[in-house]
Structure 1
Amino acid sequence: MSAPGSTANGVPHLDVDPFDMNFFADPYPTHELLRETGPVVYLDRWKLYGVARYAEVHAVLNDPATFCSSRGVGLSDFKKETPWRPPSLILEADPPEHTRTRAVLSKVLSPTVMKGLRDRFVAAAEERVDVLLEKRSFDAITDLAEAYPLSIFPDALGLKPEGRENLIPYASLVFNAFGPPNQLRQDAIARSAPHQAYVTDQCQRDNLTPGGIGACIHAHVDEGAITATEAPLLVRSLLSAGLDTTVNGIGAAVYCLARFPDQWRRLRSDLTLARNAFEEAVRFESPVQTFFRTTTRDVELSGATIGEGEKVLMFLAATNRDPRRWDKPDSYDITRRTSGHVGYGSGIHMCVGQLVARLEGETMLSALARRIAKIEITGEPKRRFNNTLRGLDSLPVTITPA
């Protein structure tokens, strides 16, 4: 990491690589450097602009006309290179196209629909806790953060039972592909054929259970809201959005509550804090670390001039701990007012899976806190490295029943 240099347009240059393994292992010192160097920085390694403070990230996320998504929300510029898969109609689209397809997903994932799913999610959370109480010692990632969403969300979507082991590798692939052509991205794409084939197949109308969320998306074809070509791509959007955010969010919450027993005790004494405990874990750990936008015109941002067609990398995780926005940002506090965090993004592209993630996070933490007195970390946590996501691969824990 070198000291910042400067250029004619007043944007400081930094020699940092936000896709390097050392950065993934401990991003916090670099996040601070990015925030404190200036409101906008230039990263020489990948020839792009970076924003890591709350005000600038929020401004970029909420101006889709200037900072577009249709040219890719990763390092690749779709105007200059072919995407590795057909672009997402949600994540990699701009209005008015985005508005039309997003409206369909907003209907199939409405608060009313979520309310209807709640009892099933609660029952599945209780069943999972039964299993964990029998084990006492287990891996909180495999046996909890992954097992719970996989036991409930694919059913809600209407997926067949076979082949679901492809779901998490597929989500991991999607988020690795947003990064540069490093080893993580190359390996993920090289291994992707079976995962892509499974997902493409599962998203077809004939393969989805009637009455599930996936079938509801296809039903909008009959009403003329979307085309038969678009429907499977919208189901595909939910497959990654509905799982990765939840798996990494629940993993982050358990990791936080195990490390900060005072917050665990606080949750146990007031179960209504379950949703906020999950939300604060999303702010504190930021499972989705970064996203890109591309400028559609020359623009001035906090005194920095950025030309048209430039990639801008938003450090969502750095933003979620910006002391300009948060009091004691490096503390995990389940009573904090978390509204405004950008863990799910902000503006028109806010994560489509956020209602699912929140419902699963809340029901799981509530079930755990009601029946478990203590969570202890009993082995070395292992990180799962990804170009976009931050999460654990393994978290050995032992629980004490209440």
Structure 2
Amino acid sequence: MSMEATVDRPVSTIDPFSHAFLSDPYPHHEAMREAGPVVWLEHYGIWAMARHQEVRDALTDWQTYCSGAGVGLSDFRKEPPWRPPSIILEADPPLHTRTRAVLTRILSPAAINILRETFAREAEALVDRLLEQREFDGVADLAEAYPLKVFPDAVGISEEGRENLLPYGSMVFNSFGPRNDLFDKAMANAGPVRDWIMSKCSRAALAPSGLGMRIFEAVDAGELSEAEAGMLVRSFLSAGIDTTVYGLGNALYCFASNPEQWTILRESPNLIRGSFEEVLRFEAPVQTFFRTTTKAVDVGGVHIGDGEKVLLFLAAANRDPRRWDKPDTFDVRRRATGHMTFGTGIHGCVGQAVARLESEAIFGALARRVASFEMTGQPERRLNNTLRGLDTLPLRVVPV
């Protein structure tokens, strides 16, 4: 269909950053998917895509849907960002090509494989402690405790001050939405947290054998400037923790809510890796990202102008019945390849192999030792403008 032969745009009055929406987004996702391939969100004057095909197409077409203007609601070309933009997440080629090449090498399968033994050992030790307790908070005692130990260790960050990592991640991911109460709460202690993060991004602050120092080796090789290396370490510390924390917490919630799926997993340990993909599809820790159009484009007969913000609902794409059979069912035997939680295309999550390794280690250890999970109380959600996960998850484990 040509630009001239446009159709009326579907319009929605929903606020995708309201507490009601964030608490239960799935009915709204369905309404947007059924309204059309692209929907105008009146509340913010932006476009939204919620179907799998359109979300995937936009993520892979970086020339039309750019990241350099910011992957949040704010347009960096019109207003200054609260922190210097990420040179990996909020960048387009040629800068993105150069920085991505360095991170891709540092996080290569061979490099990740070196971490496997350490990650597995830490997972076993943590599961030992949790089995002794029998009852624990699945978020604080596992979903947060494990990534906050193994990932900063791998990067080469000292243990002092690691309590700043989660508040910093909250600042980053809430900043992709509007300046609402969630953003204000996340930014309440921004100064000291940001200062600590920046102090950990220099060559002098990093352990010589960690992933962070590998980034600075690229400076010595002439691939990056010293400042760019520091910004890439910062990206590690913002993107590499919260998403995994939310993902592991969501996995525990899925297994506690669907005990028959945990039984299936325990009886077929070869499903562990694929089951985490199903968690990422079914209860996506990363719900949304924005892009900005670089030219006028026609989507399903609807005209989108140049310089327009487009909100891509990754989690809605993950439950699109056009792509998935029984999308609202959690099934560890499902082949969930093709979910949009890690994105796709040139901006696909560069650290996804690390997240997968962490999940494999922790759920491998749990599968060998835990017969079932029982919720001992009502879980509480942790609302975030971009992420979906839990604040508390009271659990009791039944050992094998």
Q: Structure 1-normalised TM-score?
A: 0.97
**Quick check: 1:205–1:215 contact (8 Å CA) kept in 2?**
yes
Whether 2:99 is the aligned partner of 1:101: answer yes
Displacement of 1:279 after TM fit? 1.2
- Structure 1: gaps of 5 or more residues: 1-7
Question: 1:79 maps to which residue?
Answer: 77
**Quick check: 1:250–1:361 contact (8 Å CA) kept in 2?**
yes
Deviations 1:144-198 (A, max 9, x none): 0000111111111000110000001111110000001111112222321111111
**Mapped partners of 2:344, 2:175: distance in 1:** 21
Question: 2:45 maps to which residue?
Answer: 47
Whether 2:67 is the aligned partner of 1:69: answer yes
Question: 1:399 maps to which residue?
Answer: 397
**Mapped partners of 2:287, 2:133: distance in 1:** 33
Counterpart amino acid of 1:393?
D
Displacement of 1:240 after TM fit? 1.6
Whether 2:133 is the aligned partner of 1:125: answer no
Displacement of 1:96 after TM fit? 1.0
**Mapped partners of 1:358, 1:80: distance in 2:** 37
Q: How does 1:355-374 map to 2 (within 5 A)?
A: 355-374=353-372
**Mapped partners of 1:352, 1:251: distance in 2:** 21
Whether 2:308 is the aligned partner of 1:310: answer yes
Displacement of 1:317 after TM fit? 0.6
Counterpart amino acid of 1:359?
L
RMSD over aligned CA atoms reads 0.8
Match of 2:263 among 262, 265, 270: 265
Question: 2:25 maps to which residue?
Answer: 27
Moved more, 352-361 or 63-72: 352-361
Moved more, 29-38 or 181-190: 181-190
Question: 2:217 maps to which residue?
Answer: 219
- Structure 2: gaps of 5 or more residues: 1-5
Q: How does 1:277-288 map to 2 (within 5 A)?
A: 277-288=275-286
Deviations 1:83-117 (A, max 9, x none): 10000001100011101000100111111011100
Question: 1:324 maps to which residue?
Answer: 322
Deviations 1:289-325 (A, max 9, x none): 0000000001111211100000000011110000000
**Quick check: 1:241–1:352 contact (8 Å CA) kept in 2?**
no
Question: What secondary structure is seen at the aligned counterpart in 1 of 2:185?
Answer: helix
Question: 2:3 maps to which residue?
Answer: none
Q: Structure 2-normalised TM-score?
A: 0.98
Deviations 1:52-108 (A, max 9, x none): 000110110000000000000000000000010000001100011101000100111
Name the count of aligned residue pairs. Answer: 395
Match of 1:110 among 104, 108, 111: 108
**Mapped partners of 1:180, 1:352: distance in 2:** 26
Counterpart amino acid of 1:46?
Y
Superposed structure 1 runs of 4+ greater than 3 Å apart: none
Question: 2:232 maps to which residue?
Answer: 234
Whether 2:203 is the aligned partner of 1:205: answer yes
**Quick check: 1:242–1:352 contact (8 Å CA) kept in 2?**
no
Question: 1:193 maps to which residue?
Answer: 191
Question: What secondary structure is seen at the aligned counterpart in 2 of 1:229?
Answer: helix
**Quick check: 1:56–1:302 contact (8 Å CA) kept in 2?**
no
Counterpart amino acid of 2:165?
L
Question: 1:5 maps to which residue?
Answer: none
Deviations 1:176-223 (A, max 9, x none): 000011111122223211111111000110000001000000110000
**Quick check: 1:238–1:352 contact (8 Å CA) kept in 2?**
no
Whether 2:145 is the aligned partner of 1:147: answer yes
Displacement of 1:9 after TM fit? 4.8
Deviations 1:328-386 (A, max 9, x none): 00011111111110011111111122111000011111100110111101100000010
**Mapped partners of 2:375, 2:185: distance in 1:** 31
Deviations 1:244-272 (A, max 9, x none): 12111111111101111111001111111
